[in-house]
A = this chain, B = another copy of it.
Amino acid sequence: MARPALSPTERSTPRRHRERAAADRAALDAILDEGLVCHLGFGTDAGPVVIPTGYGRDGDILYLHGSTGSASMTAAAGGAPVCVTVTLLDGIVYARSAFHHSANYRSAVIHGQARPITDDTEKSHGLRVLTEHLAPGQWDYTRPPNRRELAATTLIALDLTEAAVKTRNGGPVDDPDDVAAHQGWAGVLPLHRVWGQPQPADDLPAVVAVPERIRYRSVPT
């Protein structure tokens, strides 16, 4: 399926390190699919607010949700501009000078207006996307939301039309004089995410085994 090209604007075009800006839809999707939490930014009368929240991607739509009692979701669903950022930290860059220390990372910064999803069918679909992103395989494994739960959930959708992808990878970029003079180590210390041992709920009968899809859940890196 053809995907709409991203349309970086003045707002979303990185002004520095343009070589790091890969305005590439596949890169955006890969970051969103690998991340688990996004940071949602929205404006208030008192200034900007940034909160961490779950999300899920379905093609060109990003879904976010929260409680109907959440001031953040209410503010974000109002149609004002929002910014959603997903960052994957891949390592720390140890250089020969303090100045050239850096981090290897991939980030996606998405701009748009969020629209509230109120139709129960679409809301249920969006929550499936969100749940499957957070915990793959769980939507069909567990009880779906009832009407009361749907009513208690605010779901918002954001079109993936304006976004900026930035990445840094590779080793330190040191000044030649520092490379010649420095006697110590320089390089990259990679950072990975790994799943730990599944911890059964306190009220789970001991006879229930951990499904393989959970025990061996993959962590892309």
Contacts and interface: CB of A to CB of B under 8 A. Distances in A.
B85 A182 contact: no
A94 to B, nearest CB: 6
Contacts of A96: 142-143
A148 to B, nearest CB: 9
B52 A48 contact: no
A85 to B, nearest CB: 4
A186 B138 CA distance: 10
A185 B135 CA distance: 13
A153 B41 CA distance: 25
B47 A11 contact: yes
Given A196-B189, A198-B187, A43 B52 contact: no
A97 B42 CA distance: 30
Interface residues of A, number: 97
Contacts of A94: 135, 138, 214
A48 B48 contact: yes
A80 B46 CA distance: 10
A49 B39 contact: no
A79 B41 CA distance: 18
Interface of A: 9-11, 15-16, 36-37, 39-44, 46-52, 54, 67, 69-71, 80-85, 87, 89, 91-92, 94-99, 101, 103, 105, 107, 109, 111, 127-128, 131, 134-135, 138-139, 141-146, 149, 153, 171-172, 174, 178-179, 181-204, 208-211, 214, 217
